[in-house]
Amino acid sequence: MSQESTIHDLLVIGGGINGTGIAADAAGRGLDVVLCEMNDLASATSSASTKLIHGGLRYLEQYEFRLVREALAEREVLLRNAPHIITPMRFQLPHRPHLRPRWMIRAGLYLYDFLSQRVTLPASRSLKFSADGPLVPELRDGFEYSDAWVDDARLVVLAAMQAREHGAQIRVRSRCVAATVEDGVWLVTLQDTRDGTRQQVRARALVNAAGPWVGQLALGELPHDEDQTVRLVKGCHIVVPRLYVGAEAFLLQNSDGRVVFVIPYQHDFTLIGTTEEDFVGDPATAQISPWEIDYLVAIVNECFKAKISPADVVHHFAGVRPLLGGEDENASKVSRDYTLELDTSKAPVLTVYGGKITTYRRLAETAMERLQELFPQMTSKWTAGARLPGGDFPSQTELNRDLQTRHSWLADALRERWVGSYGTLVYRLLDGARCLEDLGEHFGHGLYAREIDYLMREEWAVEVDDILWRRSKLGLYFNAEQRRRLATYLSEK
């Protein structure tokens, strides 16, 4: 087992949105940072979200005003800093009088607008649904408000790239299997999950951002006092062929008090979710159950003219959130706010509980505030005005036009996907390419060898699912034979 002689400032455990966000913020302040992730970046909860950057309209019912205000402020920051992977979206909320009175919804939307200060997005409004719209005739009126859509897994990858640009080391498929303290410094053993080799890394402080494994890590590999009980809550989504024509999303009220989002997804599909249930066991084994599929199908069929059945589900996914909340509370009502705890009894370890993908940047800033006394040499906060890699352009329309001018041979669908995934990083991907043949072998559905090579070289992609589900969503289109060909190509690299 090899051992590094360097003593790093910070070792971040966990390659989800919170871990990569903290690594980027810390590296940008001048700290020597290493991040380790036992699988791929965004391989768990951070790629299993509802794909939204939002304040959380329903959290107002739970009086989570601070969380909603912070999330709405962050919505504006992220819209500016990541215009390639985050785009505005209008949400329509059908009024169902037996579930919530009109005045309550109108008051909630007014407060939502007020807390956001409406910097760039239009205000909410009442509306009447047209007879030829997608909703059943009984739903005649409702409301409309603004939030934003995000490619959640790509947000994580871009945060990791931002961390690397500032000098952080990103070590994927590198699991923390042991940690001890020697002379006030952490000595952490990392195991390569592919070949089993081990390496010891030294760090002055640790960040436990292991997501749903945060409690397990705190009680197991990390020898420090743990006084929080983590509540694991599973959320599931289904994907079906597109239910309706139109760019708007829907927020549906259900009779159990929960809400379900129905969102246009990857041009040809509709994303529906989420369920919220307590979970016990290994988060890696979390799966949607038949009754959860039935639950989501039922609420859609109550509200939409187009009817679906479980047989229409072409894809589904489950994610597990690590939350802090009383056991007697309904899982859907447990706070999504984050809590940070710093333990310095042996050597410093900062533990991250909870959090929303929308507030990851502010969570990272708060983490740095907690660590400031340990690293007085840190420079000031900086991420609010920092574009994520590839985000340095004014609009997708202009970038698309420029790319079309420079590379007119690119098919429209491919060009648009690349703009929405890579932003200006697409020029790095295309460097030296002058015709379609320069992209190399075509694996299907617009995936060429050049993009695969780029993802392996620049974005830590190793396996088929890294590319088809986290760096893209082409898994919705690939058949078994195409997956096998891609796996063969990856194994030969």
Are 196 and 238 members of one domain? no
Are 305 and 289 members of one domain? yes
DSSP-derived pairing of the beta strands 198-208 and 185-192:
antiparallel
- CA distances 376 to 9, 24, 31, 311, Å, are 12, 18, 10, 58
Are 192 and 263 members of one domain? no
Give the per-residue pLDDT at 223: 66
Give the per-residue pLDDT at 378: 97
Q: What is the number of structural domains in the chain?
A: 3
Are 369 and 488 members of one domain? no
How far apart CA 151 and CA 78 sit, in angstroms, is 12
Give the per-residue pLDDT at 216: 86
Q: Which residues are paired to 90 by β-bridges?
A: 146
Residue 64: inside a domain: no
Token reading at 450? 């050049």
The answer to whether 172 and 37 have CB atoms below 8 angstroms apart is yes
Give the per-residue pLDDT at 477: 98
Give the per-residue pLDDT at 493: 81
Give the per-residue pLDDT at 226: 57
Are 244 and 185 members of one domain? no
Residue 486: inside a domain: yes
Are 92 and 35 members of one domain? no
Give the per-residue pLDDT at 320: 96
Q: Amino acid letter at 427? A: Y
Are 142 and 268 members of one domain? yes
CATH number of the domain where residue 184 is located: 3.50.50.60
Residue 376: inside a domain: yes
How far apart CA 464 and CA 491 sit, in angstroms, is 10
Are 219 and 136 members of one domain? no
Which residue ranges in the chain fall short of pLDDT 50? none
What are the φ/ψ torsions at residue 60 (nearest 5 degrees)?
A: -65, -35
The answer to whether 319 and 45 have CB atoms below 8 angstroms apart is yes
Query: What pTM does this model have?
Result: 0.96
CATH number of the domain where residue 270 is located: 3.30.9.10
* Cα angle 173, 177, 179; round to 5: 125
Number of helices and strands in the chain (H, E): 13, 20
Are 125 and 235 members of one domain? yes
CATH number of the domain where residue 469 is located: 1.10.8.870
Host domain of residue 10? 2-45+154-227+337-385
How far apart CA 374 and CA 393 sit, in angstroms, is 37
Are 296 and 281 members of one domain? yes
**Boundary of a domain, candidates 299, 315, 333:** 333
Give the per-residue pLDDT at 330: 64
Burial 67-88, CB ≥16 within 10 A → b, else e: bbbbbbbbbbbbbebbbbbbbb
Are 243 and 198 members of one domain? no
* Cα angle 170, 174, 180; round to 5: 100
Q: Which residues are paired to 239 by β-bridges?
A: 271, 315
Listed in sequence order, the residues at least 6 apart from 320 whose beta carbon sits closer than 8 Å to its beta carbon are 44, 45, 211, 212, 232, 233, 234, 235, 279, 283, 286
Give the per-residue pLDDT at 230: 85
Are 317 and 346 members of one domain? no
